[in-house]
Structure 1
Amino acid sequence: MGIDFRPFKTFFTVPKVGSPARLPQHADLTKIKHSVRKLAIVKIADPDYSDALAPVLGCHIDRTKTMRSALRAGWLTPAFILLAGADPASAHVKWFAPYIVGAPPQPIGATLTNTWFWLGIALVLVFFLATRAVEKSPAGETILRGLDRMTDPIWNRMDDFVRAVVGAFFIAIFAVGGVYLTPDLKTPSEMVSWGQLLIAMLIFFRATQPLAALGIVILWLLALRDYDIFHLLDYLALGPGVAAYLVMEASSNEELRKHRFQALRWGVAIALMWSSLEKFAYPDWFYPLVEEKPFLTFGLPRDVFIPMAGVSEFTMGFGLLWTPMVRRLSAIALFVIFNAAVYPFGRIDLIGHALIMAVIVAIAADHTRDVFFVPNFKKMMAGVPIGIAAALVIFVSSYWGLHVALYGSEGDMSAAVHRTTHSPDPEHPHPTDAADAGTPVEHDDHGEPDHKH
């Protein structure tokens, strides 16, 4: 196998063997050298390709040293991203970039043959299994008690905390106006905005919480008039999950009430795992974000970073449903990532993810040691890889299968209307209309971006 040149396709044209390498006139040779050395992920196994690169870079390529660097970069850099830096994983792409829900997804085979996907899965398995090993040891209970002490103030007022954040969220989207529940579900109806303010008021009284829950479900169903079920499955945490919590929290039946945080946990976990599949099905949706905010990838090529971010989002969502230490550490990692996304993406990201962040805090502060739903299986070390594999099969088959059922095998491009919620950076021009999402951006004689239709 030769070099995978896709990460460097903007720098130079890969020559045929025996032909001189060609650089575009605008190429910055120093940048090329720096990028090749910094990324250290090029698969160099064919001497013809490495010999072709040498005159371009003005240096000899040591294939053995390069492969060692690739191994280090392949394991250490994704590990850092997985735990602390998957900004696009936390920023919901539909809020910040053009998209067409009915477009045919990338074949799942493209993901299953992606080396970086499997590397991410391997890293997750190491992290989860190591966490379970510690959790089963005497140190596990010590760590959990330490987390209990740090989160006592939240745990002692957990219901008040969750209700306050949910109420504040509905006040915030009332103030924003013109949306159902999240930034990308737009509506011209003023009644919807006033209805969301009413929901916020109902949440602060236990007797009226079931009415607030009913209002949330009605909003979710109203959004279903304008948006497909496929789209709204991204927001299970905002709809049925939160509504179920409000009903259970207000209930006088303690047997029902004790499951209220489970409803939130399952809602958020399903939402995270479902929405993470966009990174495998539609990686091109994320390209405008990467072009506009290239620092998000930490210097990694987008086609390396995006599948790694997808793996981290899916598996940490999965972790929220596992044993106490795994779910609490997963929640802490997610909280750090979601907060890190607020700076580059602003108040839309903060408001849109407020409910998810509240639930993540609730999970991190949960003092209970109970393991619900197949507890014996989850306590087994072998349960981790089997559970992740089963979750992937269920969600992937549901995602691709439901898309085919709704839009057909060729997809439905008729919904290519204006669906973007941001103003792009003029220094990184890219299409902002879903209808233009597949249209290349060219520049006129004055260097201004010009969309060719």
Structure 2
Amino acid sequence: MLLRFAVLGCAGVASTAHAHVKWFAPYIVGAPPQPLSATLTNQWFWIGIALVLMFFLATRAVEKMSVGQSILAGMDKVMNPLWMRLDDFVRVVIAAFFVAIFAVGGVYLTPDLKTPNEWVSWMQLLIAACVFSRRTMPLAAAGIIVLWVLALTEYDLFHLLDYLALGVSVAGYLVLESSKKPQWRKYRFEVLRWGVAIALMWSSLEKFAYPDWFYPLVEEKPFLTFGMPRDMFIPMAGVAEFTMGFGLLWTALVRRLSAITLFVIFNAAVYPFGRIDMVGHALIMAIIVAIAADPTPQVRFAIRRSVWTIPAMLSAALLVFASGYWGLHLALYGPSGEANAPTAEMATHTYSAEHPHGPQVIGQATAPPAPSGAHGLGHTAPPASASGGSAREAYEASMARMHRPMQVGIRHPDPDVAFVLGMIPHHQGAIDMAQIQLQYGQDPVNRKLAQEIIAAQRHEIQEMKAWLAARGIPQPN
């Protein structure tokens, strides 16, 4: 959805529904990202940049006119009641967020970061309780940082960095809000604004580095693209998310319109992806509201330049973030993307029976239970045959497991049922082979293909099992 609103937003409306798309597809943490050159030669990337620049330049030009000041005055009038109680609003949302993830249970800072430690949930409840007193706010801030550090013991650093910017900004807000020194307290909302902006710009790069993570999302929920082709939607959605985050750092009208656009984006994602998605994005949504409500003409630490410096500053931001993203991945994993990379398949989004999507929809039914403690990023165990020995032995064992249930399935007297009962183990065999390829294979093209096979075959297994369930036919083991 992000792209739909993005294109409209560049023309004067908004952009689309955003969520960490790695939530919706299996991925390998150490897999090499798509070369940056692929993005720089993508026409849709540059079209998106051009549309957003037109929007920013027009907004900045209007802001300097009397009509722009009238628009800002109208925003102030509407949002002034919230602005007068903004600290109360932010604290209530922070507390409500930690109560919500306490209720979800077994997570760190978002519903997709799982943990087997029950005491972590009680720590979240304690953080929520500490938010309402200025004496205990620093304890709540420390607790947020501790949760991130604890998550780092089970999760990969590279894929926790977007959570870091948001967590530090919320912790910083609590520390500054509790301060008795006005010269420090006045920076509390700026810290939140920069934290969200950095988190959005960093996470948007996934759409350029790993576009295949988004394929299952587009296939399972095609209405999100409003008919746009997949390879057009994904890069332009990345542009929309990055530039709206960048807009939060600009001048008053650009900043507030960007915040309103992002608020529409995140709210639009709630219904398609369920209440858990709302919990996961609650802090970002609250901070975006705070930014939109801020009437300050020129906030501290804003980018205050003339209209014609917008392209240069946006280019500089893209250069810094892209260099950091691809450069850090290279430093952590090496050129081949294999250094210290776990071999198990991963998926960061927790399975939801209310709104099923992503690899765990099928993984819950077909994969063996994960061993105790294997909760990082939704880890699933590799096929048993792939845990040791050679690739050839693993492939042969996966085929042996597939053949018997296939033979049993195709013997059903109903040819339609026989087809489905035979195809389910056939698809599971393809998934097993793809997982083995990811464990042993080195070729980046084959590894990417294997990831796509896993996502596609699991989605089709889901459809076939739903077909069987609708007809009251027992599910295959």
TM bin, normalised by shorter chain, reads 0.7 to 0.9
The residue type paired with residue 404 of structure 1 is L
Are 1:406 and 2:332 an aligned pair? yes
Are 1:390 and 2:319 an aligned pair? no
Task: Give the equivalent residue in structure 2 for 1:421.
Answer: 350
What is the alpha-carbon distance in structure 2 between the residues aligned to residue 422 and residue 157 of structure 1? 37
Distance 1:349 1:427, change over 3 A: closer
Are 1:317 and 2:290 an aligned pair? no
The residue type paired with residue 316 of structure 2 is A
Aligned-residue offset at 1:416: 2.6
The residue type paired with residue 395 of structure 1 is F
Q: Aligned match of 1:93 in 5, 15, 21?
A: 21
Distance 1:415 1:86, change over 3 A: farther
The residue type paired with residue 353 of structure 1 is H
CA contact (8 A) 2:15 2:262 kept: no
CA contact (8 A) 1:324 1:368 kept: yes
Deviation per residue, 1:410-450 (Å, 9 max, x gap): 113524334242369899999966879xxxxx999614441
What is the alpha-carbon distance in structure 2 between the residues aligned to residue 271 and residue 427 of structure 1? 24
Are 1:270 and 2:198 an aligned pair? yes
The residue type paired with residue 16 of structure 2 is A
What is the alpha-carbon distance in structure 2 between the residues aligned to residue 353 and residue 427 of structure 1? 18
Q: Aligned match of 1:211 in 112, 135, 139?
A: 139
Q: After TM superposition, list the pairs within 5 Å mapping 1:272-351 onto structure 2.
A: 272-351=200-279
Q: Tell me the SS of whatever aligns to 2:312.
A: helix
The residue type paired with residue 146 of structure 1 is G
The residue type paired with residue 386 of structure 1 is A
Q: After TM superposition, list the pairs within 5 Å mapping 1:14-53 onto structure 2.
A: none
What is the alpha-carbon distance in structure 1 between the residues aligned to residue 4 and residue 192 of structure 2? 33
Task: Give the equivalent residue in structure 1 for 2:106.
Answer: 178
What is the alpha-carbon distance in structure 2 between the residues aligned to residue 81 and residue 143 of structure 1? 17
Aligned-residue offset at 1:153: 1.4
CA contact (8 A) 1:288 1:430 kept: no
Task: Give the equivalent residue in structure 1 for 2:91.
Answer: 163
- After superposition, the CA RMSD in angstroms is 2.6
Aligned-residue offset at 1:231: 1.2
What is the alpha-carbon distance in structure 2 between the residues aligned to residue 159 and residue 172 of structure 1? 20
What is the alpha-carbon distance in structure 2 between the residues aligned to residue 241 and residue 268 of structure 1? 8
The residue type paired with residue 403 of structure 1 is H
Q: Aligned match of 1:199 in 127, 141, 159?
A: 127
Distance 1:260 1:374, change over 3 A: closer
Q: Tell me the SS of whatever aligns to 2:153.
A: helix
Aligned-residue offset at 1:157: 0.1
Q: Aligned match of 1:446 in 419, 428, 432?
A: 419
Task: Give the equivalent residue in structure 2 for 1:369.
Answer: 297
Equivalent residue pairs, number: 371
CA contact (8 A) 1:95 1:422 kept: no
Aligned-residue offset at 1:97: 2.9
The residue type paired with residue 446 of structure 1 is F
Aligned-residue offset at 1:218: 0.7
Distance 1:120 1:244, change over 3 A: same
Aligned-residue offset at 1:278: 0.3
Aligned-residue offset at 1:76: 9.8
Task: Give the equivalent residue in structure 1 for 2:449.
Answer: none
What is the alpha-carbon distance in structure 1 between the residues aligned to residue 4 and residue 109 of structure 2? 38
What is the alpha-carbon distance in structure 1 between the residues aligned to residue 171 and residue 301 of structure 2? 21
Task: Give the equivalent residue in structure 1 for 2:444.
Answer: none
Q: How high is the TM-score relative to the length of structure 1?
A: 0.77
CA contact (8 A) 1:81 1:309 kept: no
What is the alpha-carbon distance in structure 2 between the residues aligned to residue 150 and residue 81 of structure 1? 22
Aligned-residue offset at 1:177: 0.6
Distance 1:374 1:207, change over 3 A: closer
CA contact (8 A) 1:97 1:422 kept: no
Once structures 1 and 2 are overlaid, which stretch shifts more, 199-208 or 94-103?
94-103
Aligned-residue offset at 1:237: 4.5
Once structures 1 and 2 are overlaid, which stretch shifts more, 382-391 or 114-123?
382-391
Distance 1:363 1:415, change over 3 A: farther
What is the alpha-carbon distance in structure 2 between the residues aligned to residue 77 and residue 236 of structure 1? 27
Aligned-residue offset at 1:94: 3.3
Aligned-residue offset at 1:185: 1.3
Q: List gaps (5 residues or longer) in structure 2.
A: 364-378, 383-401, 411-417, 434-477
CA contact (8 A) 2:24 2:359 kept: no
Aligned-residue offset at 1:391: 0.3
% same residue = 65
What is the alpha-carbon distance in structure 1 between the residues aligned to residue 270 and residue 293 of structure 2? 22
Distance 1:85 1:139, change over 3 A: closer
CA contact (8 A) 1:280 1:307 kept: yes
Deviation per residue, 1:63-99 (Å, 9 max, x gap): xxxxxxxxxxxx9996227644522xx1222333322
Distance 1:429 1:179, change over 3 A: closer
What is the alpha-carbon distance in structure 2 between the residues aligned to residue 291 and residue 81 of structure 1? 24
The residue type paired with residue 237 of structure 2 is A
Distance 1:190 1:77, change over 3 A: closer
What is the alpha-carbon distance in structure 2 between the residues aligned to residue 427 and residue 397 of structure 1? 32
CA contact (8 A) 1:98 1:431 kept: no
Deviation per residue, 1:345-395 (Å, 9 max, x gap): 0012100000000000000000111243375xx331122101110000000
Once structures 1 and 2 are overlaid, which stretch shifts more, 261-270 or 363-372?
363-372
The residue type paired with residue 321 of structure 2 is F
Distance 1:111 1:165, change over 3 A: same
What is the alpha-carbon distance in structure 2 between the residues aligned to residue 236 and residue 324 of structure 1? 26
Task: Give the equivalent residue in structure 2 for 1:154.
Answer: 82
Aligned-residue offset at 1:208: 0.5
CA contact (8 A) 1:97 1:432 kept: no
CA contact (8 A) 1:105 1:400 kept: yes
